[in-house]
Amino acid sequence: MSNLPPPFDLLPFLLQGLWITLFITLGGCAVAIVLSVLFGVWSKSTDPILRWLSAIYITVFRGASALILLYWFYFAMPELTNIRLDAITTGILVLGANVGAYGAEVVRASLDAVPKGQYQAAAALNLNRWQTMRYVIFPQAILSMIPPFGNLMIELLKGTALVSTITVTDLTLQGKFLRDDTHRSLEIFGLLLVIYFLLSMTITAVFRVLEHRYSQGRDYGGGN
Protein backbone atom coordinates (compact mmCIF):
# COMPACT_ATOMS: atom_id res chain seq x y z
CA MET A 1 0.00 0.00 0.00
CA SER A 2 2.92 2.32 0.72
CA ASN A 3 6.60 2.11 1.60
CA LEU A 4 6.25 2.59 5.33
CA PRO A 5 7.01 -0.38 7.62
CA PRO A 6 3.95 -2.18 9.05
CA PRO A 7 1.68 -1.24 10.73
CA PHE A 8 2.31 2.33 9.54
CA ASP A 9 1.74 1.43 5.86
CA LEU A 10 -1.95 1.34 6.82
CA LEU A 11 -1.92 4.95 8.04
CA PRO A 12 -2.44 6.83 4.74
CA PHE A 13 -5.68 4.97 4.08
CA LEU A 14 -6.92 5.27 7.68
CA LEU A 15 -6.17 8.98 7.86
CA GLN A 16 -8.50 9.67 4.93
CA GLY A 17 -11.26 9.08 7.47
CA LEU A 18 -9.63 11.32 10.05
CA TRP A 19 -10.92 14.51 8.40
CA ILE A 20 -14.51 13.31 8.53
CA THR A 21 -14.08 12.34 12.19
CA LEU A 22 -12.63 15.78 13.01
CA PHE A 23 -15.33 17.55 10.99
CA ILE A 24 -18.13 15.70 12.80
CA THR A 25 -16.47 16.26 16.18
CA LEU A 26 -16.17 20.03 15.61
CA GLY A 27 -19.65 20.33 14.08
CA GLY A 28 -21.18 18.25 16.87
CA CYS A 29 -19.30 20.34 19.42
CA ALA A 30 -20.83 23.54 18.03
CA VAL A 31 -24.34 22.05 18.03
CA ALA A 32 -23.85 20.67 21.55
CA ILE A 33 -22.69 24.00 23.01
CA VAL A 34 -25.56 25.97 21.47
CA LEU A 35 -28.17 23.44 22.63
CA SER A 36 -26.69 23.09 26.13
CA VAL A 37 -26.70 26.82 26.75
CA LEU A 38 -30.17 27.27 25.22
CA PHE A 39 -31.87 24.42 27.08
CA GLY A 40 -29.77 24.87 30.23
CA VAL A 41 -30.98 28.47 30.55
CA TRP A 42 -34.54 27.50 29.58
CA SER A 43 -34.64 24.84 32.28
CA LYS A 44 -34.34 27.70 34.79
CA SER A 45 -36.87 29.90 33.03
CA THR A 46 -39.96 31.28 34.76
CA ASP A 47 -42.03 30.29 31.70
CA PRO A 48 -43.45 26.77 32.27
CA ILE A 49 -43.56 26.02 28.52
CA LEU A 50 -39.82 26.63 28.13
CA ARG A 51 -39.13 24.55 31.24
CA TRP A 52 -41.18 21.67 29.83
CA LEU A 53 -39.54 21.92 26.43
CA SER A 54 -36.15 21.67 28.03
CA ALA A 55 -37.21 18.75 30.27
CA ILE A 56 -38.54 16.85 27.22
CA TYR A 57 -35.41 17.55 25.20
CA ILE A 58 -33.13 16.38 28.01
CA THR A 59 -35.18 13.24 28.70
CA VAL A 60 -35.41 12.18 25.05
CA PHE A 61 -31.87 12.92 23.93
CA ARG A 62 -30.27 11.54 27.08
CA GLY A 63 -32.59 8.60 27.57
CA ALA A 64 -32.61 7.07 24.11
CA SER A 65 -29.17 5.73 23.36
CA ALA A 66 -27.00 7.61 20.85
CA LEU A 67 -26.95 4.76 18.34
CA ILE A 68 -30.73 4.34 18.47
CA LEU A 69 -31.19 8.10 17.94
CA LEU A 70 -28.83 7.97 15.00
CA TYR A 71 -30.75 5.07 13.42
CA TRP A 72 -34.10 6.70 14.14
CA PHE A 73 -33.21 9.99 12.49
CA TYR A 74 -31.51 8.28 9.56
CA PHE A 75 -33.85 5.35 8.82
CA ALA A 76 -37.19 6.05 10.54
CA MET A 77 -37.69 9.82 10.22
CA PRO A 78 -37.86 9.80 6.39
CA GLU A 79 -40.74 7.28 6.59
CA LEU A 80 -42.62 9.64 8.90
CA THR A 81 -41.91 13.06 7.43
CA ASN A 82 -40.37 12.72 3.94
CA ILE A 83 -37.41 14.73 5.18
CA ARG A 84 -34.17 12.92 4.47
CA LEU A 85 -30.94 14.36 5.81
CA ASP A 86 -27.63 13.07 4.49
CA ALA A 87 -25.62 10.87 6.80
CA ILE A 88 -23.01 13.46 7.82
CA THR A 89 -25.61 16.09 8.72
CA THR A 90 -27.60 13.50 10.66
CA GLY A 91 -24.44 12.53 12.53
CA ILE A 92 -23.54 16.10 13.47
CA LEU A 93 -27.07 17.04 14.57
CA VAL A 94 -27.86 13.84 16.47
CA LEU A 95 -24.53 13.48 18.25
CA GLY A 96 -24.56 17.21 19.03
CA ALA A 97 -28.09 16.97 20.44
CA ASN A 98 -27.18 13.86 22.44
CA VAL A 99 -24.16 15.48 24.08
CA GLY A 100 -26.06 18.78 24.35
CA ALA A 101 -28.64 17.09 26.59
CA TYR A 102 -25.88 16.22 29.05
CA GLY A 103 -24.42 19.69 28.58
CA ALA A 104 -27.74 21.34 29.41
CA GLU A 105 -27.57 19.67 32.83
CA VAL A 106 -24.02 20.98 33.26
CA VAL A 107 -25.13 24.51 32.39
CA ARG A 108 -28.08 24.28 34.76
CA ALA A 109 -25.90 23.03 37.64
CA SER A 110 -23.37 25.80 37.02
CA LEU A 111 -26.10 28.45 36.98
CA ASP A 112 -27.43 27.04 40.25
CA ALA A 113 -23.96 27.31 41.77
CA VAL A 114 -23.83 31.10 41.28
CA PRO A 115 -24.83 32.65 44.64
CA LYS A 116 -28.40 33.93 44.86
CA GLY A 117 -27.15 37.37 45.90
CA GLN A 118 -25.74 37.86 42.39
CA TYR A 119 -29.21 37.51 40.86
CA GLN A 120 -30.61 39.88 43.48
CA ALA A 121 -27.83 42.38 42.87
CA ALA A 122 -28.58 42.28 39.13
CA ALA A 123 -32.28 42.84 39.88
CA ALA A 124 -31.39 45.74 42.17
CA LEU A 125 -29.36 47.31 39.35
CA ASN A 126 -32.44 46.99 37.14
CA LEU A 127 -30.68 44.76 34.60
CA ASN A 128 -32.99 42.84 32.28
CA ARG A 129 -32.79 39.04 31.97
CA TRP A 130 -30.39 39.13 29.02
CA GLN A 131 -28.07 41.60 30.74
CA THR A 132 -28.19 39.61 33.98
CA MET A 133 -27.15 36.42 32.19
CA ARG A 134 -24.66 38.03 29.84
CA TYR A 135 -22.79 40.31 32.27
CA VAL A 136 -23.34 38.88 35.75
CA ILE A 137 -24.23 35.18 35.82
CA PHE A 138 -22.48 33.58 32.83
CA PRO A 139 -19.02 35.01 33.43
CA GLN A 140 -19.14 33.49 36.90
CA ALA A 141 -20.72 30.18 35.88
CA ILE A 142 -18.45 29.46 32.94
CA LEU A 143 -15.42 28.39 34.97
CA SER A 144 -17.27 25.52 36.62
CA MET A 145 -18.65 24.47 33.22
CA ILE A 146 -15.27 23.99 31.56
CA PRO A 147 -14.06 20.70 33.13
CA PRO A 148 -17.34 18.81 32.62
CA PHE A 149 -17.58 20.18 29.07
CA GLY A 150 -14.09 18.84 28.40
CA ASN A 151 -15.29 15.39 29.42
CA LEU A 152 -18.39 15.75 27.24
CA MET A 153 -16.26 16.66 24.22
CA ILE A 154 -14.28 13.46 24.71
CA GLU A 155 -17.59 11.57 24.87
CA LEU A 156 -18.55 13.31 21.62
CA LEU A 157 -15.29 12.36 19.93
CA LYS A 158 -15.80 8.74 20.99
CA GLY A 159 -19.42 8.96 19.84
CA THR A 160 -18.41 9.98 16.32
CA ALA A 161 -17.32 6.38 15.73
CA LEU A 162 -21.04 5.56 15.63
CA VAL A 163 -21.55 7.45 12.35
CA SER A 164 -19.70 4.57 10.68
CA THR A 165 -22.91 2.56 11.16
CA ILE A 166 -24.91 4.97 8.97
CA THR A 167 -22.42 4.80 6.09
CA VAL A 168 -20.23 7.82 6.90
CA THR A 169 -16.65 6.88 5.98
CA ASP A 170 -15.00 8.19 9.13
CA LEU A 171 -11.88 6.80 10.79
CA THR A 172 -13.73 3.75 12.09
CA LEU A 173 -15.42 2.80 8.80
CA GLN A 174 -12.10 3.23 6.93
CA GLY A 175 -10.63 0.84 9.48
CA LYS A 176 -13.42 -1.64 8.89
CA PHE A 177 -13.02 -1.46 5.08
CA LEU A 178 -9.31 -2.02 5.47
CA ARG A 179 -9.92 -4.95 7.78
CA ASP A 180 -12.23 -6.59 5.23
CA ASP A 181 -9.50 -6.23 2.57
CA THR A 182 -6.44 -7.25 4.56
CA HIS A 183 -7.60 -9.08 7.73
CA ARG A 184 -4.81 -7.33 9.68
CA SER A 185 -7.25 -6.67 12.54
CA LEU A 186 -4.75 -6.32 15.35
CA GLU A 187 -2.72 -3.63 13.57
CA ILE A 188 -5.70 -1.75 12.12
CA PHE A 189 -7.85 -1.50 15.23
CA GLY A 190 -4.78 -1.05 17.43
CA LEU A 191 -3.79 1.97 15.32
CA LEU A 192 -7.35 3.30 15.45
CA LEU A 193 -7.38 3.08 19.24
CA VAL A 194 -4.07 4.95 19.44
CA ILE A 195 -5.33 7.68 17.06
CA TYR A 196 -8.53 8.18 19.06
CA PHE A 197 -6.47 8.23 22.27
CA LEU A 198 -4.21 10.98 20.88
CA LEU A 199 -7.27 12.99 19.80
CA SER A 200 -8.75 12.67 23.31
CA MET A 201 -5.47 13.84 24.84
CA THR A 202 -5.58 16.87 22.54
CA ILE A 203 -9.09 17.76 23.73
CA THR A 204 -7.97 17.37 27.36
CA ALA A 205 -5.04 19.71 26.72
CA VAL A 206 -7.23 22.33 25.01
CA PHE A 207 -9.68 22.36 27.90
CA ARG A 208 -6.81 22.65 30.42
CA VAL A 209 -5.67 25.78 28.60
CA LEU A 210 -9.24 27.15 28.55
CA GLU A 211 -9.66 26.48 32.26
CA HIS A 212 -6.38 28.21 32.99
CA ARG A 213 -7.34 31.22 30.88
CA TYR A 214 -10.79 31.62 32.43
CA SER A 215 -9.45 31.30 35.96
CA GLN A 216 -7.01 34.22 35.52
CA GLY A 217 -7.45 36.88 38.17
CA ARG A 218 -9.96 34.92 40.23
CA ASP A 219 -9.47 34.20 43.88
CA TYR A 220 -12.56 32.07 44.44
CA GLY A 221 -14.47 29.18 42.96
CA GLY A 222 -11.62 26.67 42.96
CA GLY A 223 -9.65 28.26 40.13
CA ASN A 224 -5.96 28.97 40.48
Cβ 147 to other proteins, closest distance in Å? 14
Closest CB 44 distance from other proteins, rounded Å: 20
Check binding of 177 to other proteins (CB under 8 A): no
The span of 24-32, 34-42, 86-94, 196-204 binding other proteins (CB under 8 A) equals 196-204
- 33 or 69: whose CB is closer to other proteins? 69
Report if residue 75 touches other proteins, rule: CB under 8 A: yes
d(C-alpha 57, C-alpha 75), whole Å: 20
C-alpha distances out from residue 21 to 71, 102, 117, 185, Å:
18, 21, 44, 20
| Cβ partners under 8 Å of residue 1, min gap 6 | 9, 10, 12, 13
108 near other proteins, judged by CB under 8 A: no
Residues 117-156 within binding reach of other proteins (CB under 8 A)? 154
What is the DSSP code string of 137-168? IHHHHHHHHHHHHHHHHHHHHHHGGGGGGGT-
Alpha-carbon distance of 119 to 123, in angstroms, equals 6
Contact with other proteins (CB under 8 A) among 6, 79, 115, 116: 79
Residue 80 found at the interface with other proteins (CB under 8 A) = yes
Distances (CA, A) of 161 to 118, 185, 202, 217, 224: 42, 17, 17, 39, 35
Q: Binding to other proteins by residue 13, rule CB under 8 A?
A: no
**Residues interacting with other proteins, by CB under 8 A?**
59-60, 62-69, 71-72, 75-76, 79-80, 154, 157-162, 164-165, 172, 175-176, 179, 183-186, 189-190, 192-193, 196-197, 200-201
